[in-house]
Amino acid sequence: MAEPKTKYDRQLRIWGEQGQAALEKASICLLNCGPTGSETLKNLVLGGIGSITVVDGSKVEHGDLGNNFMVSESSLGQPKAKCVCAFLQELNDAVKAKFIEEHPVTLIETNPSFFSQFTLVVATQLVEDSMVKLDRICRDANVMLIFARSYGLTGFVRISVKEHAVIESKPDHFLDDLRLNNPWPELKKFTENVDLDTSDPVVHKHIPYILILVKTAEEWAKSHGGRLPSTREEKKEFKEVIKAKMVATDEDNFKEAIEASFKVFASQGISSDLKRILDDTCAEVDSGASDFWVMVAALKEFIANEGGGEAPLEGSIPDMTSSTELYVNLQKLYQAKAEADFLVVEQRVRNILKKIGRDPYSISKTVIKSFCKNARKLTVCRYKLIEEEFNSPVLPELQKYLTDEEYSVAVGFYILLRAVDRFSANYNTFPGQFDGGMDEDISRLKTTAVSLLSDLGCNGSTLTEDLINEMCRYGAAELHAVAAYIGGVASQEVIKLITRQFVPMSGTFIFNGIDHKSQLLSL
């Protein structure tokens, strides 16, 4: 076996040892191992997922050889689940791979408790009726579920989890937590000891912009009745004030200060996103509360008390022009404040745990620390039951999509993907699945789609003939390239769900393979 650290190096740089450990603990169940399902699992097996269970009741046919890399000539006539499982095992011997030769639909109907053993179920190529049933089963068993389907040049991915809370959301662009307009006493004091008017040009060009901005903001507030720049004019003037402090044209630190001055203008206190989480009813915790919500409750107390309206300090600073000494000391200052904030939150977490009758030390220091560091970036995702979306989608959204040119093809596919399932329930075949009768299938699909839309309270005339024709042309084909795309998306979302890092998608992702104008629909 290769040293896992080297083998997984390129992904450890993304989700770290903790994310990797979560993957290695996870057990995944795949329903149907056509190309969509097989490709989803392939990407997870390569990354070192703990265990997989492949469920499929079909035998390998000639047609499968043309769209699924995990079966080959020698697999013809054999159980597809067995062949796919064997190939996947070959990719990574650290993964526990097994298969069950059984039709997923049968399992859903006869053995719902089967699913409770898994961390997450990837359900591919299921029709509406089975999706609704499986969704209910997984929701009750608290098992994460992700649906994926490829259909001609379209398809979808949909997550179904009651609640998914993310501490390490790792957004690409997020405002640093520098407190330039709201410095705590130690930062204030530190700033006071730095002389912006120093006569030493080398020292002057190595004052980090944090200090320049804290000082300038303070001066500004003093001369403006305690206010900071808010109008366009004032902001421009503020930058001029900084510029005037430069003694040479090559002072990168002052240029950086001017560029970063928007951080002074940023509003104090917490964001509306965070406020929504604090105000969530789940933040009123009892003995059944999850660790996440216990920590949110502690955070809420902290912000209202010691935090003075602010979340715990993140405790890191970006790189900036500076002398080594000032930079390192500044970094220590931020870390010390973050540590102090953390200790307060930790104490509050322990108290709350005690109050709700849990072991006060049942949440580890590391977890609380990470929670504090990421407090401003907490994210909570909730997903409707698919049945609810199917029966009563958010009508204004649906109507908006139907009339918006950017969304028209994607929402058209969404409706048609549902319509083909109704079609198959009525006629025992998908439109255009077999030769002959194409014209009849087109008109039947049209009728089905229009009645589906009117059941939802929408006008059916928005669907174009071209798209209905196109859907019949697809004839339920599972094209390899489309399956690889859909499977890729599904596996990426699975990784986010299991590592609890990054933010999983919300809504339903509709793939548009015609011109790639795919969309997320929030229904």
**181-240 positions binding another protein, by CB under 8 A:** 206
Residue 301: CB minimum distance to another protein, A: 28
Task: Pinpoint the alpha helices (H) of 47-98.
Answer: 62-65, 80-91
Among residues 38, 261, 491, 499, the one that binds another protein under rule CB under 8 A: 491
Q: Does 470 bind another protein (CB under 8 A)?
A: yes
Please tell me the distance from the alpha carbon of residue 227 to that of residue 12, in angstroms, as a whole number.
46
How far is CA 396 from its chain centroid?
Answer: 25
Q: Candidates 179-187, 262-270, 320-328, 390-398: pick the segment binding another protein (CB under 8 A).
A: 320-328
Which of 185/436 has CB closer to another protein?
A: 436
| Binding to another protein, residues 73-102 (CB under 8 A) | 73, 90-91
The one among 124, 181, 322, 374 contacting another protein by CB under 8 A: 322
Q: How far apart are CA 499 and CA 26, in angstroms?
A: 9
Q: Does 475 bind another protein (CB under 8 A)?
A: yes
Which of 104, 183, 315, 487 touches another protein by CB under 8 A?
A: 487
Nearer to another protein, 307 or 315 (CB): 315
Three-class DSSP category at 498:
helix
* Minimum distance, C-beta of residue 399 to another protein, in the bound complex (Å): 23
Site membership for another protein, residue 158 (CB under 8 A)? no
Q: Which is nearer to another protein, 43 or 130 (CB)?
A: 43
Please choose, out of 163-171, 228-236, 238-246, 356-364, the segment that lies near another protein by the rule CB under 8 A. 163-171
Per CB under 8 A, does 253 bind another protein?
A: no
DSSP conformation letters of 84-120: HHHHHHHH-TTSEEEEE-S-HHHHHHH-GGGGGG-SE
Query: Which of positions 26-45 make contact with another protein (CB under 8 A)?
Result: 35, 39, 42-44
CB 330 within 8 A of CB 208: yes
User: Rounded to the nearest 10 degrees, what angle do helices 209-223 and 185-192 cross at?
Assistant: 100
Does residue 314 belong to the site contacting another protein (CB under 8 A)? Answer: no
**Minimum distance from residue 237 beta carbon to another protein (Å):** 31
Residues of 95-129 as b/e, b for ≥16 C-beta within 10 angstroms? Answer: bebebbbbebbebbeeebebbeebbbbbbbbbbbe
Number of residues that bind another protein (CB under 8 A): 91
| 294 forms part of the interface with another protein (CB under 8 A) | no
> Is 292 among the residues that bind another protein (CB under 8 A)?
no
| Residue 172 binding another protein, by CB under 8 A | yes
Residue labelled with tokens 């769900």: 497
Candidate segments 123-131, 137-145, 289-297, 494-502, binder of another protein by CB under 8 A: 494-502
Nearest distance from C-beta of residue 496 to another protein, angstroms: 7
Q: Cα dist. 407→456, 473, 521 in Å?
A: 18, 21, 9
Contact flag: residue 257 with another protein (CB under 8 A): no
Strand partners, 520: 509
Q: Which of residues 497-516 bind another protein (CB under 8 A)?
A: 502-506, 509, 513-516
Contacts of 276 (CB under 8 A, 6+ apart): none
CB of 146 to another protein, least distance (A): 12
State the nearest-atom distance from the C-beta of 91 to another protein, in Å. 6
With tokens 């407190």, the residue in question is 179
Rounded (5°) CA angle 83-130-395: 130
Q: Out of 495, 497, 521, 523, name the contact with another protein by CB under 8 A.
A: 495
Nearest to 414 by CA among 159, 33, 149: 149
Residue 244 in contact with another protein, rule: CB under 8 A: no
Our finding on whether 319 is near another protein (CB under 8 A) is yes
Q: Which residues pair with 472 in a beta bridge?
A: none
Q: Which of 18, 24, 69, 127 binds another protein (CB under 8 A)?
A: 69
Can you read off the two tokens belonging to residue 368?
């609380």
CA atoms of 161 and 383, how far apart (whole Å): 6
3-state secondary structure 206-229: CCCHHHHHHHHHHHHHHHCCCCCC
Please select the residue that binds another protein; options are 56, 168, 421, 493, rule is CB under 8 A. 493
Which of 324, 366, 428, 461 is close enough to bind another protein by CB under 8 A? 324
Q: Which stretch binds another protein (CB under 8 A): 128-136, 341-349, 397-405, 481-489?
A: 481-489
DSSP helix/strand/coil, 146: strand
